[in-house]
C-alpha cells in the first residue's frame, strides 16, 4: 500500500489557558509516541486569547506533518480529529478491495465505540414528502456507475431499532439516497422484539463514491462490510482529503458534545438570571 504524507492542523479550544496548553502538549506527545506514524515535522503554536468571547476564549493549534499507510492515517484522523487535513503526496493511490475493507472495518469499530459513548451521528430531516427511492439497478447501470462515475459497489449489514419494520426500511432508504447513495438491494430481518420495539438487521448492497462510502461507514458503523467491485480502487488526493476531513469532523462532533452541552447549560442559566 502506498505511503501517504499529510499535514494535520489540530485545534484546541478552552476556557483555561494552562489546561489548554497542557492538553495540546499531551496531544503532541501522543503523536510522537504513535509508532504507526512517521513524524516529519511537528509544531505547536502559542495559545492565544480571544477577548471578544467569554466561552472557549483560548485557542491553540498543532501543525503535524505525518507519513503513514492509509490505515494509519485514517485511524489518526479519527483519533486526533484535525480541523484541517492537507494531502501532500501522492496525487493518487491504488488500494485493493481487501485492503479497503480492512480500513473500513477499523473506521466502523472506532466510530461505533464513539457513538456508543456519545450518541448517534445519522440524523436527518423529515422525509415524509419525498418519494421512496429506487431500489435495484441493471447490470449495465452498475457498470456505468463503476467505469464512468468511478463508484464502488459494496455491502453493509447495519443494525436498526423501531416499532415498524417497513417504516424503518423506508426511512433508511430515503436517508441513504439523501447521502448520495444508489441502493441496489435492501433486505430487513427482525431479530428481537421487546414491548413492540424491534431490533432489526438490514442487509444492503449500495453504490457510491469513495467519500460517501467512508461517510456511511462512520455514521452507521456497520457490523459487516464487503467490497464487491472493482477489485482495485483508485483514489485521488482530493477524494482522500475529503474523506479524512469528514471522519475527523464526525469524531470531533462526537467527542465535543459534552463540552457543548455544558456551554449551552451555562448560557441558558445566564439567560434565565
Helix and strand tally (H, E) in the chain? 8, 11
CA 253 centroid distance within chain: 10
Smallest Cα–Cα separation from 78: which of 219, 266, 259? Answer: 219
Summarised one tens digit per residue, pLDDT across range 131-187 is 889 999 999 999 999 999 999 999 999 999 999 999 999 999 999 999 999 999 999
Assign 259 a pLDDT band (cuts: 50, 70, 90): confident
Summarised one tens digit per residue, pLDDT across range 223-248 is 999 999 999 999 999 999 999 999 99
192 pLDDT above the threshold of 50: yes
pLDDT value of position 271: 45
CA 110 centroid distance within chain: 10
Cell readout for 2 is 502506498
Distances (CA, A) of 189 to 13, 184, 198, 201: 44, 17, 10, 5
Q: How far apart are CA 273 and CA 253, in angstroms?
A: 29
Length of the chain: 273
- Measured in degrees and rounded to the nearest 5, phi and psi for residue 115 equal -70, -30
End-to-end, the C-alpha distance of the chain in Å comes to 59
Question: For residue 154, what are the β-bridge partners?
Answer: 206, 227
266 pLDDT above the threshold of 60: no
List Cβ neighbours of 164 (8 Å cut-off, separation of 6 or more). Answer: 198
Burial 147-179 (b: 16+ CB within 10 A, else e): eeeebbbbbbbbebebeebeebbbbbbbbbbeb
Most distant pair of Cα atoms in the chain: their distance: 65
User: Please, what are the domains in the chain?
Assistant: 4-90 (3.30.70), 94-232 (no CATH)
pLDDT value of position 127: 78
Summarised one tens digit per residue, pLDDT across range 65-89 is 999 999 999 999 999 999 999 999 9
CB atoms within 10 A of CB 201: 15
Q: Compute, in degrees rounded to 10, the torsion defined by CA atoms 233, 236, 238, 243.
A: 20
pLDDT value of position 185: 97
Summarised one tens digit per residue, pLDDT across range 214-229 is 999 999 999 999 999 9
Smallest Cα–Cα separation from 133: which of 185, 202, 200? Answer: 185
pLDDT value of position 44: 93
The angle at the Cα of 142, spanning 141 to 148, to the nearest 5 degrees, equals 85
Q: Where does the chain show beta strands of DSSP type E?
A: 4-14, 38-44, 48-49, 58-68, 84-89, 92-96, 152-162, 182-194, 197-208, 224-229, 232-236
CB 149 within 8 A of CB 109: no
Amino acid at each position: 500500500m502506498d505511503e501517504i504524507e499529510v499535514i494535520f492542523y489540530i485545534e484546541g479550544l478552552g476556557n483555561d489557558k494552562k489546561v489548554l496548553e497542557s492538553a495540546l502538549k499531551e496531544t503532541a506527545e501522543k503523536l510522537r509516541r504513535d509508532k504507526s506514524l512517521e513524524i516529519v515535522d511537528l509544531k505547536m503554536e502559542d495559545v492565544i486569547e480571544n477577548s471578544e468571547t467569554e466561552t472557549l476564549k483560548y485557542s491553540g493549534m498543532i501543525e503535524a506533518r505525518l507519513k503513514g499507510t492509509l490505515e494509519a492515517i485514517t485511524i489518526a484522523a479519527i483519533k486526533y480529529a484535525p480541523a484541517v487535513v492537507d494531502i501532500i503526496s501522492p496525487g493518487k493511490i491504488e488500494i485493493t478491495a481487501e485492503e479497503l475493507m480492512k480500513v473500513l472495518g477499523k473506521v466502523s469499530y472506532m466510530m461505533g465505540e464513539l457513538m456508543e459513548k456519545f450518541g448517534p451521528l445519522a440524523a436527518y430531516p423529515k422525509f415524509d414528502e419525498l418519494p421512496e427511492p429506487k431500489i435495484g439497478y441493471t447490470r449495465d447501470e452498475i457498470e456505468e456507475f463503476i467505469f464512468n462515475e468511478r463508484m464502488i459497489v459494496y455491502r453493509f449489514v447495519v443494525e436498526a431499532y423501531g416499532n415498524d419494520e417497513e417504516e424503518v426500511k423506508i426511512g433508511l432508504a430515503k436517508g441513504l439516497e439523501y447521502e448520495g447513495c444508489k441502493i441496489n438491494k435492501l433486505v430487513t430481518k427482525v431479530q428481537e422484539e421487546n414491548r413492540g420495539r424491534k431490533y432489526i438487521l438490514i442487509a444492503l448492497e449500495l453504490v457510491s463514491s469513495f467519500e460517501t462510502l467512508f461517510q456511511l461507514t462512520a455514521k452507521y458503523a456497520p457490523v459487516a462490510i464487503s467490497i464487491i467491485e472493482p477489485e482495485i480502487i483508485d483514489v485521488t488526493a482530493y477524494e482522500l482529503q475529503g474523506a479524512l476531513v469528514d471522519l475527523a469532523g464526525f469524531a470531533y462532533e462526537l467527542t465535543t458534545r459534552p463540552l457543548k452541552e455544558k456551554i449551552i447549560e451555562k448560557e441558558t442559566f445566564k439567560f434565565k438570571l
